Structure 1
Amino acid sequence: MNNRLILQGGLAAALCLAAPWASALTVDLNKAASPMANISTTTNGGWSWSHHGVGPLKGTLDGKSFTTYCVELNQPLSWYSKDYSLANFSPADKNMLDRLYTVASDKVTDLTKGIAFQLAVWEITHESLDKFQTKYAPGSSGLFGGANLDAQHTTAFATANQWLADAKALDASKISWSTQKLTNGHYQDYVLAVAVPEPETYAMMLAGLGLVGMIARRKQARAGKLGTPAV
């Protein structure tokens, strides 16, 4: 399973990072295509719990296929077509989410690992104590935690913690993903993630643009020479 939202063509991928998306984006999640398990979560150290579906969410964004994850716990999932806008995460959350996608986005190969990735996202967006360790039940080490996950998926906690540790230790120069938030006031907010082209790819794209510009200028010059003389 690939968690990338990939805009086909290197130039398109680069431009989507440099320019804002349209003000209204259509998120259409497919419930039938999104594998989910049940989990209980808390965000206040265990004083209260709520129940959620957990796993990767599949659908389309403005008609382009993508996979995403929740960043909230207090609003319903927006199954089927809904309008969203693009917003920024806090610098700290974005930094960790960029790191998480870099070290683990291509490792989500089954539902248990999809659950692990979702737990890691929730840990980043809900943990106030900067511990970045998802607990099977929260304690003094932090506020966010989960429990009551189906037995066949409980290894997701250890996997999430490993990915969080790897993300935190990642050299900043190796971050290769960029994240933003898809937001709606009535439904869950989601992660929008794009792969950042390698420096070599940028160089190739710039060289290509330069070549296209040179060809265009030559054509204009040639058209000027062949134009009808003034009377």
Structure 2
Amino acid sequence: MRKFKTVLTVAAFAALAPMANAAELIVNGGFEAPGSFSGNFQTIGTGNGLSGWNVTAGSVDLINTYWQPQSGNYSLDLNGNEPATISQAFTTVVGKSYTVSFGMAGNMDGGGSVKSITAGVNGDHTFTFDTTGLSHDAMGWQTRSFTFVADSTLSTLKFSGNGNNGPYGAALDNISVAAAVPEPETYGMLLVGLGLVGFVARRKKAA
């Protein structure tokens, strides 16, 4: 019985391991690739000039030294010469929940103080950011997130700029997609199950 109990315990922790180490599904979420230019920023038009991402309906500015990124060396102004949409497809499991997170700030040089974007996979979410009192050296980055349930084996994440902001859009950095981590109640149920296994094992040993 002790061997059986040990096997169950190992199996339970093996099941928990993938939950604690969810794989990143997005390529170049921090816009660090290719990262081969110097200077303030580089405007990228429609097509695949932004590594890992497809740029449509406008242009984006890949920011280098123009302002402070959330991390690394690069970030993105979603409104280049005009608002754009960027997208990236990735493999998902139908019916499984995923969490999208990203850093958001804004270009305070014009276009109003409040920057707005829509983001989503199988439905749109609107996010806003107020640049009041901020500067290029203190961008006030905030992490935003949403979840979705995959309805296809290939899902596409999209971010779209707001035309009302003109060429001074929302700033993005550190885009990430990973399988949603189970709620604490899930871990509690697994631990209760392990406790019951131990209880039954002790009862049988005593008998």
TM-score range, shorter chain: 0.3 to 0.5
* Higher share in helix: 1
* Higher share in strand: 2
TM-score where L is the length of structure 2: 0.33
TM-score where L is the length of structure 1: 0.30
